[in-house]
Structures are given as structure tokens and as C-alpha cells.
């Protein structure tokens, strides 16, 4: 979900039409979530020392290519392309989107060891009418996970930590400029959902803005494919404003979920 930040210089142009708020994914804040998700979207996050259930095994990363449909009120539908690939000893997550005159991409490199995920490099670019800015966070600047790496990390942790609606886990992330934001999350359920790509078993997660209690991000991940976002919905004042849904999934190795 290009889970979740966008350059402030676009705010003036887009604030009247795209009022998305998200973390993550990511990319869903202004067109931040176009890049999450939720990006989301897609949606960079990091869990703050949440307790993992004893004996819990984290899913092994697998390469894939996924396509999502993005719906924003007042705008035509857009497509998001998401690649997760392995490069020697590290992994790379790449998300790209385009909607009307706005486009963007985010790339992150990270390493995985058992239940630990370590961010190594983050790059992003956003443009309006072909004019844009580039952002980069190097390893020494990544004091917590960037949002692309965190989208992957959250999908592995969902349902394996002692998080609940009454006692949600803390979630902190760095946006594209390296500024930390604070959210909370819990897994609402593990149940199948239907998206344009088909029916999938899903880990359904609720993300809450720690400072704005009228905003929620609902994320659904596949339990066996870390980083694979099935669905993302952004709600403000109880109304859904933005939706991302999986339209096509192409595994590169492994079995189709």
C-alpha cells in the first residue's frame, strides 16, 4: 500500500481533490498513498517492541509482481505496480503509480534475518506535470524502517504479536523526508476476502493515527507472501475515501496463493 507520504509542494495543487491520509503504505495522505500502502500505498513503518507470541514462525520472503487498482473520489482509477525481488543478500521493494498528471515511485532495499528486518536504502521520486523531486534515505539516516520496508515487515508481523483493539501495538515510521510519524495497529481478523484478482485468505489489520482518532487505514495482507497487499481502505470520519485492491498477482518462484 506506496504506503504513504507525498511531497508537500504538491499539497496546494492537490488538496482540493485528493484528501488521503495514510501511513504506509504506502501507500493514503494526499497522494502519499498513491506512491502504500497504501502506497499505499501503499503505507515505512516499524513496530515498537511488540511482544511476539512464543514459538511463532515468520513467513519466508518470496519474490513477486503485483498490480493494484487505486480508486480516489473525484479521480479516474489508477494502477500501482509492486515488485518484490531478491538481490544477493538483500531484498528490494519497488512501487510505481500514475494518476492523471501525478506520478511517483518508491524503492527500498532491506535485509531479513529470522524475525528482524533491517532497512538499508530508500529512494523515492514524485512528479507533477513531469516536474518533480527526488528523495533518498541512506542506511545511517534510517533510524527506523522506511515505509516500503515497513510495509513488508508489518505484513510478516500481523497476527504474530500480542496486539488487540483495546491494547494496540505502536507503529513508527520514517516518511520520504526522514521524519518520524506515529501510528498504532492490531489484527482485526484472519478471514478470506474477495478482490478483483480472486478470493484470498487474509490477515486483516487496522491502523490508527495516534494523533487523529477520526482516521483509520484498513489493510489486508496475504499470510504466506510477505509484502503482498490484497486490499487497503482509508476511512475519515467513518467514510471511505480511498481504496486499493489487488488486480493481478504473478509469483516469481513459489506457488500462487
CA contacts within 13 A on the Cβ side of 136: 5
pLDDT in tens, the chain (257 residues): 454 333 333 343 333 333 333 334 343 333 444 433 333 344 433 344 455 554 567 888 999 999 999 988 777 788 999 999 998 899 999 999 887 778 889 999 999 988 889 999 999 998 888 788 899 999 999 999 998 998 899 999 898 888 999 999 988 889 889 998 888 999 999 999 999 999 999 999 999 988 888 889 999 999 999 999 999 999 988 888 889 999 999 997 444 45
* Residue 171 covered by a domain: yes
* Residue 1 covered by a domain: no
* Residue 96 covered by a domain: yes
**pTM to 2 decimals?**
0.79
Domain count along the chain = 1
> Residue 30: which domain range?
8-251
* Residue 242 covered by a domain: yes
Q: Cell 492537490: give the residue.
A: 14
* Residue 256 covered by a domain: no
Q: Cell 480508486: give the residue.
A: 71
| Cβ-count burial 186-203 (b if 16+ within 10 Å, e if not) | bbbeeeebebebeebebb
* Residue 20 covered by a domain: yes
Residue 95 near residue 79, CB atoms below 8 Å: no
For the range 234-239, what are the long-range contacts, defined as Cβ-Cβ under 8 Å and sequence gap of 24 or more?
234/20, 234/21, 234/22, 234/28, 234/33, 234/38, 236/19, 236/21, 238/214
* Residue 225 covered by a domain: yes
Provide the CATH number for the domain around residue 40. 2.40.360
Amino acid at each position: 500500500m506506496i504506503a504513504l507520504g507525498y511531497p508537500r509542494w504538491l499539497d496546494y495543487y492537490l488538496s482540493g481533490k485528493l484528501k488521503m491520509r495514510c501511513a504506509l503504505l504506502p501507500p493514503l495522505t494526499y497522494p502519499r498513498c498513491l506512491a502504500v500502502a497504501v502506497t499505499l500505498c501503499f503505507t515505512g513503518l516499524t513496530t515498537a517492541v511488540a511482544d511476539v507470541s512464543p514459538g511463532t514462525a515468520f513467513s519466508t520472503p518470496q519474490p513477486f509482481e503485483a498490480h493494484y487498482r487505486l480508486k480516489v473520489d473525484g479521480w479516474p482509477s489508477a494502477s500501482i505496480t509492486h515488485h518484490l525481488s531478491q538481490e544477493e543478500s538483500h531484498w528490494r521493494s519497488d512501487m510505481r503509480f500514475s494518476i492523471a498528471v501525478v506520478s511517483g515511485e518508491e524503492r527500498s532495499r532491506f535485509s531479513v534475518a529470522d524475525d528482524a528486518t533491517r532497512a538499508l536504502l530508500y529512494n523515492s521520486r514524485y512528479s507533477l506535470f513531469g516536474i518533480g523531486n527526488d528523495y533518498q534515505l541512506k542506511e545511517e539516516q534510517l533510524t527506523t524502517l522506511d515505509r516500503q520496508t515497513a510495509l513488508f515487515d508489518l505484513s510478516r508481523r500481523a497476527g504474530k504479536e500480542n496486539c488487540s483493539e483495546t491494547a494496540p501495538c505502536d507503529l513508527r515510521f520514517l516518511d520520504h523526508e526522514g521524519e518520524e510519524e506515529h501510528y498504532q495497529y492490531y489484527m482485526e481478523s484472519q478471514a478470506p476476502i474477495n478482490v478483483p484478482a480472486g478470493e484470498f485468505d487474509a490477515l486483516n489489520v487496522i491502523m490508527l493515527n495516534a494523533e487523529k482518532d477520526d482516521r483509520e487505514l484498513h489493510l489486508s495482507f496475504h499470510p504466506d507472501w510477505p509484502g503482498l497487499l490484497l486490499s487497503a481502505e482509508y476511512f475519515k470520519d467513518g467514510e471511505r475515501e480511498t481504496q486499493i485492491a489487488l488486480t493481478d498477482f504473478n509469483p516469481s518462484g513459489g506457488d500462487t496463493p
